[in-house]
Structure 1
Amino acid sequence: MTNKKIKFVDLFAGIGGFHQALKFVAQDNNIDIECVFVSEIDKYAIETYTHNFNYDKNQIINIRDIDNIEKDVPEHDFLFAGFPCQTFSNAGNKKGFLDEIRGTLFFEIAKILNEKKPKYILLENVKHIIKHDNGETWKIINNKLKEIGYLIPKKPLVLSPHNFGIPQERERVFIPGVLKSKIAENIDEIDLEEDINKYKKNFNSDNFIQEKNKIYNNILETKINEKYLLKNNANGSYLQKVFDAWNEFLQNVKKPLNRTLPVIWLKELTQTYELNPELMTHWRYKYISDMRDIYKNNKIFIDSWFKKHDPLSWKIREQKFEWQAGKDINDIKESFIQLRQSGIRCKRPVKFPTLVAMVQIPIIFDNTLKEWRYLTPRETANLQSFPKTFKLHNELNTSNDDYYSYKQFGNSVNVEIIKIIQKTLLDNY
């Protein structure tokens, strides 16, 4: 690397995932870094940010509050932005290179880039943005960056922590870029994929015992506060009974040959109305047909199970069961559970479902404690590759409220992925 000091801007910073990643890169490569500008509007995220980085919270602002943002942002070498995905309106016949994105938060980024021309950029967003508005949003973003003068990859760079041996499935799209006028090569795009692939690790989803052991060694904590035990939470006893009932169902019904249990909707399971594939979506027709086969082949047991557990008295969420742990596992305690708004989802115990800001905290059966429990905030920090020294919001808050910590890690970038992209970009250009 040729950079001895890197000044950077941290937009829509959250709790500082980009900042933390660059600290790692700097430490490993003897680089000095300086954060010259931070934007964020969530006061709780700002509290976490300022407790972990040497930055005055009074200088962290909402970029929408500055009239001439492109003038007020200091000169810098690297711009980071995990920008919100707002609706991009159709451009129609508007003219002017920024007209199509005016009014969106990406417009603020574009204004800064057009004025300050930092050598490097790294943007992040949800994978869905690639297909948003039939691909028009993605096209606008890419075209604007190119018009400003940035070289970016030819195709979207979509990565997930599990690609790098981190047990979380969380696909995000990343846009690394380098200013064409600041490099010697005469090229039209950058290609980081080959170098990034060197950091990828084989993830053996078939050998769930081996992978689960890695999770217990690298992600899960050994000392757990009893407040995270399911039984000590509101509705905990109820959920334990529901899990036990579904486990009984899972272990006793005969599944289709060489297949796992299909999605089960209790209100549909025993229905007898005639199915008309022409009047239903294909997926719904298939789900209901599969369920009816299960009921037909297990009628005696299922009728008895309904009588024993009265599952139609459960909350609607717990009446839907999605088994995604594979046909070689037949115990709910071996799965990772996510309580979604749409139902109970049991994942194969090799990687956790995507952490989300809606605070759908994964639930595991702790084999050491012999108890169902939620992941702790520190464990969600581990899944996002934050160091043990990183102070969580619940560790700063005298109320010891975990809500904001869960939310913040659900919103955060994965530090390891960001570090890999940053290092690859700096090494190559």
Structure 2
Amino acid sequence: MSDVSYPPFNFIDLFAGIGGIRTAFDGIGGTCVMTSEWDSYAKTTYTTNFPSDEGADHIFNGDITAIHETRVPDHDLLLGGFPCQPFSIAGVSKKNALGRAHGFQDPTQGTLFFDIKRIIDEKRPAAFLLENVKNLKSHDRGRTFQVIKDSLEKDLGYHVQTRVVNGIHWTPQNRERILIVGFREPTAFDFEAMKVPAQGPKVESILHRKGEAELPHDEGRFFNPRTGAVNPKYTLTDRLWAYLQTYAQKHKAAGNGFGFGLVRPGMTTRTLSARYYKDGSEILVEQRGKNPRRLTPRECARLMGFDDSFVIPVSDTRAYKQFGNSVVVPAMSAVAEHMAPHIGAALASDEPAA
């Protein structure tokens, strides 16, 4: 985060998860006036890490579909990482296999974009930032994305730009996401001009190590700081490790790319998913003389760019789901800094002349 200061602004945090996008915009002087997140476990993590929200100046709403747009507080910026399962490769494959609709035919998640649309239409914020999986752009041969873009540009009249950003420039994880930025008025904002680091860190930067300071809110839950030994419960059982190897060999023989992702300290990882709690197969840490292990939830937090002050108050299973559904925080911080002067300029133009 730079030392540049920008004018203060208010924002709302929709489909907030555990607050990854919100963290970035807090960092450039924003004040969150409303949060919406329906999952009660994610809410526990969110409210634990943003305790200052408890007060008259902040609203926490569980179900965005149940709040009328006129009840949403006035805000300068709308943030929304709307549910991606209907558009992700894994989500579409699963729904097809089950014979269920996906995208805008999904009767629940797929229509949540329109809750964003109705709020923007009513409140007319100066800007918005929406986040989703890269596959959103190609879903249904591009028709889904075109509906979204037309809704924002033609129906609402916003000036929209998109960019696919890969978290690997900031953390050791290959994680591509599409970001959609819109401004109500014309601006000099150029998404393609946003600078990204040439190379990010490697896996060794997130792993527990001997002599690492123990975090008081972790209380020895994940590893032994004296020895550096990770809790043995994260090491795969012989049965699970044998299954994953057999599964990988079967798909390799069939010419498929499915299999586990084994990493060493000097490498980068695949994308952390919300299903990581099941077997950890997409990111397994090699261990000398032992079966590989899953990342601990603290290591997952670091992989997503959350600093060690971030508290993990939920079970491992819930934590894996939450980090797998979150965003790469330093990538969002780069976007926030790139947007900041243009948000400031938009707010300045809204002020009445003296």
Measured in 1, the distance between the counterparts of 2:26 and 2:10 equals 12
1:150 to 158, 174, 186: 158
1:365 aligns with 2:286: yes
1:38 aligns with 2:35: yes
Change (3 A) 1:352 1:132: same
Alignment size in residue pairs = 297
Report which of the two structures shows the higher radius of gyration computed on alpha carbons: 1
Change (3 A) 1:363 1:423: same
Kindly report the root-mean-square deviation, in angstroms, between the aligned alpha carbons of the 2 structures: 3.4
Change (3 A) 1:70 1:102: farther
Measured in 1, the distance between the counterparts of 2:60 and 2:111 equals 23
Change (3 A) 1:107 1:61: same
Q: Which residue of 1 aligns with 2:336?
A: 422
Unaligned runs of 5+ in 2: 87-101, 211-221, 344-354
| Contact 1:231–1:240 (8 Å) recurs in 2 | no
Q: Which residue of 2 aligns with 1:353?
A: 270
Measured in 1, the distance between the counterparts of 2:35 and 2:82 equals 13
Measured in 2, the distance between the counterparts of 1:235 and 1:177 equals 45
Question: Whose helix fraction is larger, Structure 1's or Structure 2's?
Answer: 1
Q: Which residue of 1 aligns with 2:207?
A: 220
Change (3 A) 1:21 1:70: same
Question: What TM-score results when the alignment is normalised by the length of structure 1?
Answer: 0.61
Give the aligned residue type for 1:126.
Answer: V
Q: Which residue of 1 aligns with 2:179?
A: 174
1:382 to 281, 293, 302: 302
Measured in 2, the distance between the counterparts of 1:215 and 1:347 equals 8
Deviation per CA, 1:293-328: give whole Å up to 9, x if none: xxxxxxxxxxxxxxxxxxxxxxxxxxx9x6xxxxxx
* 3-state SS of paired residue (1:427): helix
Question: What TM-score results when the alignment is normalised by the length of structure 2?
Answer: 0.73
Q: CA deviation at 1:23?
A: 2.2
Q: CA deviation at 1:202?
A: 3.0
Deviation per CA, 1:362-407: give whole Å up to 9, x if none: 221246x97732211111111111121111133xxxxxx2111111
Q: Which residue of 1 aligns with 2:23?
A: 20
Give the aligned residue type for 2:270.
Answer: P
Aligned pairs for 1:273-312 (under 5 A) are 287=255
Q: CA deviation at 1:242?
A: 6.9
Q: CA deviation at 1:61?
A: 2.1
1:236 aligns with 2:237: yes
Unaligned runs of 5+ in 1: 27-32, 91-100, 204-210, 247-262, 270-283, 288-319, 323-341, 395-400
Q: Which residue of 2 aligns with 1:80?
A: 79
Q: CA deviation at 1:104?
A: 1.2
Measured in 2, the distance between the counterparts of 1:377 and 1:242 equals 23
1:161 to 155, 164, 167: 167
Aligned pairs for 1:110-121 (under 5 A) are 110-121=117-128
| Contact 1:12–1:83 (8 Å) recurs in 2 | yes
| Contact 2:37–2:62 (8 Å) recurs in 1 | yes
Deviation per CA, 1:201-250: give whole Å up to 9, x if none: 236xxxxxxx6xx432x211215527x9696469613345678x88xxxx
Give the aligned residue type for 2:82.
Answer: F
Change (3 A) 1:76 1:428: closer
* 3-state SS of paired residue (1:389): coil
* 3-state SS of paired residue (2:260): strand
Q: CA deviation at 1:128?
A: 1.1
Measured in 2, the distance between the counterparts of 1:232 and 1:106 equals 39
